[in-house]
Structure 1
Amino acid sequence: MDKLRHIEGSIVAIPVNDIDTDQIIPARFLKVTDKEGLGKAAFCDWRYLEDGETPNPEFILNQPEYRGASVLIAGNNFGCGSSREHAPWALLGAGFKAVISTDFADIFRNNSLKNGLLPIIVDEETQRQLFSLAEEDPSASVSVDVETQTLTLPDGRALGFPLDGFAKYCLLNGVDQLGYLLALDDEVLAFESANPPRVATTA
């Protein structure tokens, strides 16, 4: 996982509530365990016409002025539905580094943080302002400082956002949960050596 310390990027809005993980990435793409290429599958049923290949010109992510956006402004309850790590994988593959909403489904939020995608919670008024800004000015951008947990809006206003301490550590250092544990291997072995088992483990 890459380190995530600062994000500076343009915004794009999908002002739809209750976008579930099947809309983020349809179930037919879940057979793969490799993240490579999943960006094309992000919002696939909205992004492409019935043939699955021809871009839908009406969908916001296909409009030239929004290509390259790295921060998604989403409707309420983003990422609801079934648990699938493929959802943050697809969003990351599509170029997004953060998603801003008023709230996220717990499982999606946890899966995102574990994979380096930052979910940022804002109030409804800020969400509405960002929806309007994204529509009016495709070049509008925000900046995010993970260390200080600060989101800076296009008008210069800075807002704090919640972030679990352990998740923050992993993002800043570019480690996942397994990597964190493996880095403590020497300490774990030393503890095991210094503390005999409380229960007999031999027959």
Structure 2
Amino acid sequence: MHITIILVAPARAENIGAAARAMKTMGFTRLRIVDSQAHLEPATRWVAHGSGDIIDNIEVFDTLDAALKDVDFTIATTARSRAKFHYYATPGELVPLLEEKGQWMKHAALVFGREDSGLTNEELALADVLTGVPMVADYPSLNLGQAVMVYCYQLASLMQQPAKTADVSDEFQLQALRARVMTLLTTLDVAEDVKLVDWLQQRLGLLGQRDTAMLHRLVHDIEKNIAK
């Protein structure tokens, strides 16, 4: 499985450079930036010492949705207080989760938000799973470069594993299931239950390959019976 790091609207070139350096140190190579040109400032390369190849290959997108078009599984970083109804994974809990996803998915993304305000609720809604770094209460934040290093360090073992050939028939099955479930909730007239929808959408991201296939079958049977 390929893992791409995505920075949403980073304001400081130094933070982008620090993120690239952390990625290079831990074996990550793919960096995408959303809604920012800060990486073009000289300070990016000054800080990203030895990781110029990552800077050279940065992909830039106007929106997070566009940056995720070819991504099978999305993890978004946030503070616990923002994750009101969401499943919330620690960096360590992501390792077995991604190991399983790597059996049937090709491309995951780890998304970091703005330095001052993080990700919006709309951007968080694009994620399959939310994550955050547990910290002591009186010092509740890391800067962007530090946060990227924490995750790259924790997930570095995944980069050392041999690439597996994912079954093409399973690609984007999670996204397809998510869309089918939302359509079903609309049909059942419960799509306006924000707490239910938010809870359900997040837990779909925890499903393994077999459970995803079985839930597709269940939703299909429900759709068929509703149509009668």
TM-score normalised by length of structure 2? 0.25
TM-score normalised by length of structure 1? 0.27
More helix by share: 2
